[in-house]
Amino acid sequence: MTGASPSGSPSSGVPELLRGQAGVERAAAILRSGGIVGIPTETVYGLACDAMNAEAIARVFEAKQRPSFDPLIVHVADLAAAEKVARFTPLAHKLAERFWPGPLTLVLPKDSSVPDLVTAGRSSVGVRVPNHELALALLREFGGPLAAPSANPFGYISPTSAAHVVAQLGDDVDAVLDGGVASVGIESTVVRLREDGTAEILRPGGLSFEEIAEVAGAELVTHGTPVHVEHAVKGELSPGRLRNHYAPGCPLILVPPLESLPDSGDEGEDAGLLAFKTPPHSWEQEFRAVEVLSPTGDLREAAANLFAAMRRLDAAGLRQIIAERAPDVGLGRAINDRLERASSRS
C-alpha cells in the first residue's frame, strides 16, 4: 500500500475491506486524504479517487496500468452535482432525468474545474450517477465527484465483486468497499451528446440502445445521421475500446447460437464452453468446463453473470473457450460486444 492512510496506521500490504455505513465513512476519509478505493456500482466495481486531486488520479492510472489517453468517468450523487462538472444539453437532461441513477454515462463539454488528467486532455467529460445504495451514500458522504474507471488492471475483465478487485489489484488499492455482487454486471452505456443536439453511442452497455432510443428518438445518430437499431453501436467509439480488452488467457472463439449449428464437433479435452443458455446435450458433453449465462436465455441474467463466468473459465487452465453469441437485441448487444473483443487477440 502506497496511499495515504488517514489513521496513520502502518501499511499492511492488504487493502482494507469495508462494509456498511462505517465502511462508507472510512472510505470517504481515505478518499479525502488522497487514497484510492474500490467501490461497488450496479454495473461493475470502480477504482475511485477524488476527481479534483491530480495526484490521486495519477495513482489510479498507475494502479490500473491504464494508458493516459483513456479518460475516466466522473461519478456524482445526482443531476445537480453533474451540472457542476459538465455542460448539459436539453437531450442530456432528458436522458439523465429518465435513466439516472443508472448504467448510463453521458459525455458532455466539461467544466473548467475538472482536471485535464481525468479527461485525458479532452474538452469533454464522462459523467454518471450510479444506481447503488453504498456508492450513492459514499458520494454524499464524500461530498464531491469521484473519478473511477472499472477496477481491473488494463486489458482485463471488469470486476463484479469485491473479491475480484482484491484478487486483481491487491495492495495497489488502499481499501475496497464491499457492496455485494454487481446487479447489472456489464459496464455503463457511454453516450456522447453532440453540439448539434444529437446523441451518439460510444460504448454499448448496461442500458440498452432500445431504451435510449425511446427517449432520444431521431436524435440518436451515427456520424450525424439518424440510425437504425442494427447500426447504432457502430459509430465513433470510446477511446478506451481497444479490441482485445476482455481477453482471457486462452483463445476465445465466438460462435452463432448453438442450436443453429449442426454438431459440437470435437473441441478436444481441454476446451471450455461459455453458453448463452442451456446448451443442447451433445454440446455440453464435449467440454471440460461449461458456464451457462442464463439457463432460460434471459439477457439481464446473462449480462449479470458474464464476467464472473469468464473469470471461472479463465482460471480453469483451458486450451480454448467456445463462446455462444447472445441474440443481437437489448443487453445482448453489450454482451456480444464484450465477447467480440475477448475473441480478438491481436
Chain residues binding ligand TXA by CB under 6 A are 41, 43-44, 46, 70-73, 103, 105, 107, 119, 122, 124-126, 130, 148-150, 187-188, 190, 202-203, 238-241
Indicate whether 41 belongs to the interface with Mg ion (CB under 5 A).
no
**Least Å distance between CB 151 and Mg ion?**
9
Which is nearer to Mg ion, 150 or 343 (by Cβ)?
Answer: 150
72 binds, among ligand TXA, Mg ion, none (CB under 5 to 8 A by kind): ligand TXA
Alpha carbon 185 to chain centroid distance?
Answer: 8
CB of 34 to ligand TXA, least distance (A): 20
143: left (phi over 0), alpha (psi -120 to 50) or beta: left
Q: Which of 41, 150, 189, 198 binds Mg ion (CB under 5 A)?
A: 150
Given Mg ion, ligand TXA, none, residue 290, with its beta carbon under 5 to 8 Å by kind, binds none
Q: At what angle do helices 299-315 and 331-343 cross, to 10 degrees?
A: 20
Of 27-35, 144-152, 260-268, 307-315, the window that binds Mg ion (rule: CB under 5 A) is: 144-152
Give min distance, CB of 149 to ligand TXA, in A. 3
Which is closer to Mg ion, CB of 41 or CB of 150?
Answer: 150
- Which residue lies nearer to ligand TXA by CB, 146 or 273? 146
Residue closer to ligand TXA (CB basis): 60 or 213: 60
Decide whether 297 or 330 has the Cβ nearer to ligand TXA. 330
Q: Would you say 275 or 303 has its CB closer to ligand TXA? A: 303
Residue with cell 502506497: 2
Question: In the beta sheet, which residues pair with residue 128?
Answer: 75
Q: How many residues bind Mg ion (CB under 5 A)?
A: 1
Bridge partner residues of 106 (DSSP): 127, 191
Q: Find the shortest distance in angstroms from Cβ 299 to ligand TXA.
A: 17
Least spacing, CB of residue 240 vs ligand TXA, in Å: 3
Q: How far is CA 87 from CA 110, 255, 294, in A?
A: 6, 43, 40
41 binds, among ligand TXA, Mg ion, none (CB under 5 to 8 A by kind): ligand TXA
Residue 276, Cβ neighbours under 10 Å: how many?
24
Q: Which is nearer to ligand TXA, 181 or 289 (CB)?
A: 181
- The SS3 call for residue 177 is strand
d(CA 114, CA 266): 55
Which of ligand TXA, Mg ion, none interacts with 146 (beta carbon under 5 to 8 A by kind)? none
* DSSP assignment string, 3-17: S--TT-PPP-SSPEE
What are the Cα distances from residue 246, in Å, to 155, 156, 200, 240, 314?
6, 5, 23, 12, 11
Q: How far is the CB of 159 from Mg ion (least distance, A)?
A: 10
CB of 88 to ligand TXA, least distance (A): 14
Please list the alpha-helical segments (H only) found in the chain: 20-32, 54-64, 79-85, 90-99, 133-142, 162-169, 209-216, 281-285, 299-315, 331-343
Q: How far is the CB of 117 from ligand TXA (least distance, A)?
A: 12
**Which one, 175 or 258, has the nearer CB to ligand TXA?**
175
CB 60 within 8 A of CB 117: no
Query: Which residue number, 63 or 275, has a Cβ lying nearer to ligand TXA?
Result: 63
CA 60/CA 49 separation, integer angstroms = 7
The partner in contact with residue 238, picked from Mg ion, ligand TXA, none with C-beta cut-offs of 5 to 8 angstroms by kind, is: ligand TXA
Locate 58 and state its grid cell.
Answer: 495519477
Instruction: Report CA dihedral (310, 315, 317, 318) to the nearest 10 degrees.
Output: -10
CB of 273 to ligand TXA, least distance (A): 27
Q: Site residues (CB under 5 A) for Mg ion?
A: 150
